Chain A
Amino acid sequence: MQAPRRVHVMQGEARVDGGDAVLTTLLGSCVAACIRDAGAGIGGMNHFLLPGDEAHATGRAESYGLFLMELLVNGLLKRGARRHALEAKLFGGANTVDNLGDIGSRNAAFARRFLAMEGIACLGGDLGGGRGRRVEYWPATGRSRRIFIDGRVTLDAPASAMPASTGDLELF
């Protein structure tokens, strides 16, 4: 069997892909939104540092969730995704470093707020906590996997799958 094509999504990026791709990223307080249109068979991932919907937001747009969410959604629509069919999973937003305050929580709250405002279904994911995560997302199927930085691994099946648990591997 051919190995999946791995595409790493850097901080400040949004990537759209499909087919055999697996999108990966490494998150601490940052958030990655994984959004796809199951019918069109394409999806994408972004990786943002700060929310960006606050009045004092300054600096490069690429740091901000508001810009990267727009970039991802518009990228999907241009590739044939239908807005009403979009579904999302959210990852990250950990409060990993004490002196960073609650940036992780603010990022997570923004991501949830954005999906609610734009009417995009949130199927789950994994937000918050105090540990960083490595996230893998298969845009064609919606499957995702996150590996906590301390080594604990949890695995998500496509949204239609039934919950199951196998020791360290948590399927839902």
Chain B
Amino acid sequence: MIFKQHLKVMVVDDHRTSRMVICDALAELGINQITYACDGEDALKTMMATPCHMIISDFNMPKLDGLQLQKAIRTYGPTQRTPFIILSGRGDRELVQKAASLGVNNFLVKPITPPVLKSSIEAVIGRLQ
């Protein structure tokens, strides 16, 4: 059982509008401890300063994309077991397979809604309370 008020989530997306949509959905689920990063590089820096329990990241981003970020997270000791959910506009089989081989915990296709996000998070870390 996960107490959602203690759950710290980092949202990574290069578009402010998309970050807001994801954060609104998280807030609707009662998750309010949210940090933001605007691309993969920013996410790595933010994680060092503010560790989190879970990362929800867009795939398509400049500098370091979602898969590259995931790879970096998985190769760094303190973060290698951090749950990672990747978001994409397309349910591309190749992308899903690649993400899975790199150890992604879940894959979500946009547009996301609070119920879909909730079941995706619960599938990774257990029931939210």
The prevalent SS among residues of A at the interface is: helix
Please state if B28 and A55 are interface contacts (CB–CB under 8 Å): yes
The segment from B9-17, B47-55, B74-82, B119-127 that touches chain A is B9-17
Q: Which residues of B are found within 8 Å of A73, using beta-carbon distances?
A: 15
Q: Given contacts A52-B111, A58-B113, A64-B111, are A118 and B62 in contact (CB under 8 A)?
A: no
Interface membership of B2, Cβ < 8 A: no
Please state if A67 and B62 are interface contacts (CB–CB under 8 Å): no
**Interface residues of B toward A: which range?**
20 to 34
A-B contact pairs, 16 of them (CB 8 A): A52-B110, A52-B111, A53-B17, A55-B114, A61-B110, A64-B110, A66-B15, A67-B89, A67-B110, A69-B15, A70-B14, A70-B18, A70-B60, A71-B89, A73-B15, A117-B20
Please state if A74 and B60 are interface contacts (CB–CB under 8 Å): yes
Q: Given contacts A61-B89, A67-B89, A71-B60, are A117 and B17 in contact (CB under 8 A)?
A: yes
A58, A64, A118: the one within 8 Å of B15 (CB) = A118
Please state if A74 and B62 are interface contacts (CB–CB under 8 Å): yes
Interface membership of A122, Cβ < 8 A: no
Q: Given contacts A74-B62, A78-B62, are A56 and B113 in contact (CB under 8 A)?
A: yes
Q: Given contacts A53-B21, A114-B17, are A70 and B89 in contact (CB under 8 A)?
A: yes
In whole angstroms, how far apart are the Cα atoms of A52 and B111 in the complex? 7
Q: Which residues of A are found within 8 Å of B61, using beta-carbon distances?
A: 74
B24 to chain A, nearest CB (A): 7
